[in-house]
Amino acid sequence: MMARRIWFLISMVNAMNVLVHLHEPLEEMIEGGTRQEVYEFLAARYAPMQMKLWDMAVASNASIVPLWIQNTLIVYNATTSLIEGFSAMEDVLAVEQDQIVYLDETMDTFDVANYDESIQTNVKLLHADEAWSKGFNGKGVTIASIDSGVRYSHEILSRAYRGIVKKWRYVDGKSWKHDYAYWITKSQNQTLTPDNADEVGHGTHTLGTAVGAQGVGVAPGATWIAARPFNSDGSATQSDILLAAQWVMCPTTWEGTQPDCSRGADIVSNSFGGNSSIEWMDKIVQTWSKANILPVFASGNVNGFECGSVLCPGCIAEAIAVGALIGGTTLWGGSGKGPGKDGVIKPDFVAPGVAIRSAASYDDKKFTRMTGTSMATPHVSGAAAIVLQKCRMTEKKCRMKEIVSTLSSTSFHDLHKPFLVPSTCGKTSYDKYPNNIYGHGLPNVGAAINQNVEYTAMA
């Protein structure tokens, strides 16, 4: 059994919001199940343990939200005496105050005045257009964004949004129904409109690169959904990120009722991360993987001179971490490098991340350019969607490990020696693949769909 860790702050405040983590039961989670099967397994496993704490919280006038995606309770307005009571319970592994997480700062953000409808260079560098010409554009695949939100009415994003409702009686031909399509935290408590859907701009931009139409996104045929735990200042509480992670696996109505795992994400694109202390996301990533959901994370905008700088949870083996390139052949110096946790190779892939043009969040027809590993990440999410679509033509259920393997074995390797920053990390050189600089390289979607792969169907 793991040693018990009890963390809480002694302060003058009367109450605080905390996360109460309980020990994991001994039985193993099922491997390779559907989202619904994993949900049912976890909910049944955790509920009895969590009920032991419920009455204690209610008696102290605290409000409590149980999670099923991991064995954790979110307790709002917990008093010091309640925290001490939780800490004394044998089933409790840790009690910690709700933390704040920030989106990575992007660089060189500027507007793009004119719109060019040709396929963008960053998309061509992954040879996504070659896949499109053969009928593969991500159709039938759902990509979820956990970010600052998405301007769902943008001209390159609206058609792929699950929440669009087309009705002839509307002047613009569109209406919106956000059930199973969009989630915001209760604390944000606002009526969702296109203008307030993403007040940071980060999520709209990244999702545009994943699924945007008109040559902007890698997989324009995919469907997208979005969870917005991050506020207008780019901050989010740990608890809201956990709730968002749970929602993308089994989305709910706009009111938060009737979860439906069949409408959950196949791929979750996450352009955020933290240092190794962000262990609380590890269980989420592992659960997604068990449910055959691909977790894709930014490797991070970090000190470019440091090896082992890849952000977590992209640092763990179950996650896909994405580094950034200048163009298509040279590492962007600030890109997070491996090795990752327990010495695993990181990043897993690299993709264009400098001055990437994508959708702006303040107008349906505007575009901006941004720089960072956040911008690189959705390229790989889109690439995986296309390969998954190809797999589903022959198999009813495709394993994400094999999707990643197909991308890995067909990636582009002729990448240049990094300039100024390290070219060797964790005893792996940049020109020997996979390595802790470029991972498996730059995905080549055209080659990936042409590869003759016999995919293994899930049981």
Check residue 10 and give its pLDDT: 39
Element (H, E) at 122: helix 121-124
Q: Which superfamily does CATH assign the domain made up of 102-450 to?
A: Peptidase S8/S53 domain (3.40.50.200)
Q: What is the pLDDT of residue 186?
A: 85
Give CA–CA dist 43/283, Å, rounded. Answer: 15
Tokens for 1, please give them.
């059994």
The residue among 297, 117, 280 whose CA lies nearest residue 212 is 117
Torsion of CA 38, 39, 41, 46, to 10 degrees: 130
Q: What is the pLDDT along the chain (459 residues), one digit of tens a residue?
A: 334 444 444 343 567 999 999 998 766 766 778 999 999 999 999 999 999 898 888 888 899 999 999 999 999 999 999 999 999 999 999 999 998 888 866 665 666 655 566 899 999 999 999 999 999 999 999 999 999 999 999 999 999 999 998 754 444 556 899 999 999 998 887 789 999 999 999 999 999 999 999 999 999 999 999 999 999 888 999 999 999 999 999 999 999 999 999 999 999 999 888 877 778 889 999 999 999 999 999 999 999 899 999 999 999 999 999 999 999 999 999 999 999 999 999 999 999 999 999 999 999 999 999 999 999 999 999 999 999 999 999 876 799 999 999 999 999 999 999 999 999 999 999 999 999 999 999 999 999 999 876 555 454
Phi, psi of 20 (to 5 degrees): -110, 110
- Amino acid letter at 14? N
According to the model, what pLDDT value does residue 332 have? 97
Per-residue model confidence (pLDDT) at position 108? 55
Give the residue extent of every domain in the chain: 15-98, 102-450
Catalytic residues: 147, 202, 374
- Rounded to 10 degrees, the C-alpha dihedral 88/90/96/102 comes to -170
Supply the pLDDT for residue 110.
61
Residues with Cβ within 8 Å of 98's Cβ and at least 6 positions away in sequence, in order, are 16, 17, 18, 19, 74, 237, 238, 239
Q: Which residues contact 332 (CB under 8 A, 6 or more apart)?
A: 323, 324, 325, 326, 353, 354, 371, 373
Predicted local distance difference test score (pLDDT) of residue 278: 78
Nearest residue to 288 via CA among 312, 264, 253, 322 = 264
At the second CATH level, the architecture of 15-98 is 2-Layer Sandwich (3.30)
3-state secondary structure of 385: helix
